[in-house]
Structure 1
Amino acid sequence: MHQPAPPADLRHRTIEAPAGRLHLVEQGAGPLVLLVHGFPESWYSWRRQLPALAAAGYRAVAFDVRGYGRSSKPAGTDAYRMLDLVADNVALVRALGEETAVVVGHDWGANIAATSALLHPEVFRAVGLLSVPYAPPGGPRPTDVFARMGGDQEFYVSYFKEPGRAEAEMEPDVRGWLAGFYAAMSADTMPADGAPDPHFVDRDGGRLRDRFPDGRLPAWLTEDDLDVYAGEFERTGLTGALNRYRAMDRDWEDLAPHAGAPIEQPALFVGGALDASTTWMAEAIDAFPVTLPGLTAAHVLDGCGHWIQQERPDEVNHLLTSWLASLPG
């Protein structure tokens, strides 16, 4: 399996954290910017941002979230609670010898970044959210919300929640499954309007991949890139990644004391106009004046899907570095 050669100055390290160990990759020197990936990804999702942030004068650090890649994979769904993921982020900042950091996340990483900023404003001085807007804790129990979605179809989050069920679909052909999942949510390969929505499965034994588009990879994903992602998940399996979905009700209980709480620090949001996360959560974006009173920039990129920093790396890099340069201190 051929993998792209990393930049010569990309540094890999493993540090001790509540997860056990966390694998990180860093580039550059300067103020710390912590990059948190989503599902089903790894530190590699930030390969285009690390050199750009380093060139702009920042110490850019991307890492494998617990359950992924070369980081530890604790047993049991409770080990993937949001509070534990936030504790990993704090431990990373401390292990890197820093007092504060800017935290930037994509997909689930955006939720982890937002909660890190909410619970530890003394550590995370600003927060950048890609694809998934901030929605404060509170409201109905997540399992109940997702169970009501889709009518005679089942929402993918509910599908993921039953241990072993999604793994049985994904793990016999990890590479093919990932290729289809990435294509289903990319602007240039997503299903056409009117086609079955790949965020849902048929309740009578359906699979997500039944709705994935066939054929070419999205433009942002090379065969070599896919090899990197597939190689990690073929080695680790998908359970650690899926446990994030399985811990959502526990998060709802843990974060109840913070129901409705805003994030006060400077914030950035960048979404894709063709991403379901942007359209389904339009009310959360509309609420930013209340929920993100420190928001300094918000952008929705026309013609962009879910994998925003990989689909549109140059544009996202420009937005990130411009925003970082505008921050106090």
Structure 2
Amino acid sequence: MSYPSSVPAPDAEHHLVDVPGGRVHLVAQGSGPLVLLVHGFPESWYSWRHQLPAIAAAGFRAVAIDVRGYGRSSKPREVDAYRMLNHVADNVGVVRALGERTAVIVGHDWGASIAANSALLRPGVFTAVALLSVPYTPRNGFRPSDAFARIGGGEEFYVRYFQEPGRAEAEIETDVRAWLAGFYAALSAGTMPPPGAADPHFVPAGGKLSDRFPSGRLPSWLTPDDLDFYANEFERTGLTGALNRYRNVDRDWEDLAAWDGAPITQPSLFAGGALDASTTWLADAIKAYPDTLPGLVSSHILDGCGHWIQQERADEVNRLLIDWLREVS
């Protein structure tokens, strides 16, 4: 397989490791304390291409995985195979397969939620956690599907739109590259719709999610080669495995009932973009960090930054992560 020139240095190694639920593809670089990097939707290990060499150069073993359903990792057929408990088990399995007992875990987007729950459920394995773009929100008394149904008025919130198997796939897989380009641009500083424009997180009545995407210009952080890499991965695998994460939100709510309202006590970091809807919509969750993340070391809102924080502002995020890693390790 060929990779764009921005891929990590030649000493990065690709591996397939066995975990109890199947196999996980990962890319590893460097040596030292293990740092596990978990991507979000719709991305891959490649979203950490700027962090792998930087974290490795700082004296750590940086490992970016393809989350189950993505890339060369296992893609179970059953929708409920993508529940949060299985993602946590995959992460524990990766740590064990690499011959380690503990790791620091870093996640972005859905990967932030997976990282947070990995730290919450397996604190003896994951000794510190960094969350990018999506704040930690403990499980609460509201069933997620009920909450999503009330959002948007006459329009449909994107998470609800993703619930029915095959529906979003029919939109995306018609032209994967164009859909990804629009989705990335819609949530990026410089290409997202201006304030007051129709929100790309909502599907207009009778329409598609992509009806709200900007067109014709890639965000500055995404080269045509980068987009080709992502598109080639999803054209090969399809989007069902990735979308099945969204289709388990109610199962997660049921599975995690014993952790309702539970804090994460390990040392933690949060960084989000000031222009990211995840940061603005969940501002109350960030304000609650003294209670929900009592081990918080630092929290950062990056001015002028959108959702794809570790790609949009790679150098700045690298500095934040490495400073934090040195402090917690």
TM bracket, shorter-chain basis: over 0.9
- Partners of 1:42 and 1:128 lie apart in 2 by 18
Amino acid in the other structure paired with 1:180: G
Deviation at 1:19, TM superposition (A): 3.1
In the other structure, the counterpart of 1:238 is 239
In the other structure, the counterpart of 2:4 is 4
Query: What's the C-alpha RMSD, in Å, of the aligned pairs?
Result: 1.0
Q: Please, which moves more after superposition, 5-14 or 157-166?
A: 5-14
Deviation at 1:3, TM superposition (A): 3.7
Q: In percent, how many aligned pairs have the same letter? A: 73
Deviation at 1:195, TM superposition (A): 1.2
Determine whether 1:200 maps to 2:202: yes
In the other structure, the counterpart of 1:191 is 193
Trace 1:280-319 onto structure 2 (pairs within 5 A).
280-319=281-320
Trace 1:1-329 onto structure 2 (pairs within 5 A).
3-5=3-5, 6=7, 7-203=9-205, 205-327=206-328, 329=329
Amino acid in the other structure paired with 1:189: T
- Partners of 1:89 and 1:37 lie apart in 2 by 12
- Partners of 1:123 and 1:158 lie apart in 2 by 33
Please give the secondary structure, in 1, of the residue aligned with 2:156: strand
Q: Which runs of 4+ in 1 moved over 4 A?
A: none
Please give the secondary structure, in 2, of the residue aligned with 1:75: coil
Q: Is the 8 A contact 1:113 1:129 kept in 2?
A: yes
- Partners of 1:87 and 1:228 lie apart in 2 by 28
Please give the secondary structure, in 2, of the residue aligned with 1:247: helix
Amino acid in the other structure paired with 1:271: G
Please give the secondary structure, in 2, of the residue aligned with 1:90: helix
- Partners of 2:158 and 2:21 lie apart in 1 by 26
Deviation at 1:139, TM superposition (A): 2.2
Amino acid in the other structure paired with 2:173: E
Count matched residues.
327
Amino acid in the other structure paired with 2:132: L
Q: Please, which moves more after superposition, 116-125 or 133-142?
A: 133-142
- Partners of 2:195 and 2:142 lie apart in 1 by 30
* Cα shift readout 1:113-155 (whole Å, capped 9, x = no counterpart): 0000000110000000000000111221000000000000100
Unaligned runs of 5+ in 1: none
Unaligned runs of 5+ in 2: none
Amino acid in the other structure paired with 1:110: A
- Partners of 1:221 and 1:141 lie apart in 2 by 36
Q: Is the 8 A contact 1:19 1:73 kept in 2?
A: no
Deviation at 1:2, TM superposition (A): 7.1
Amino acid in the other structure paired with 2:262: A
Q: Please, which moves more after superposition, 130-139 or 175-184?
A: 130-139
Q: What TM-score do you get using the length of structure 2 for normalisation?
A: 0.98
Please give the secondary structure, in 2, of the residue aligned with 1:186: coil
Q: Is the 8 A contact 1:18 1:84 kept in 2?
A: no
Q: Is the 8 A contact 1:19 1:66 kept in 2?
A: no
* Cα shift readout 1:17-42 (whole Å, capped 9, x = no counterpart): 13311100000000000000000000
Deviation at 1:214, TM superposition (A): 1.3
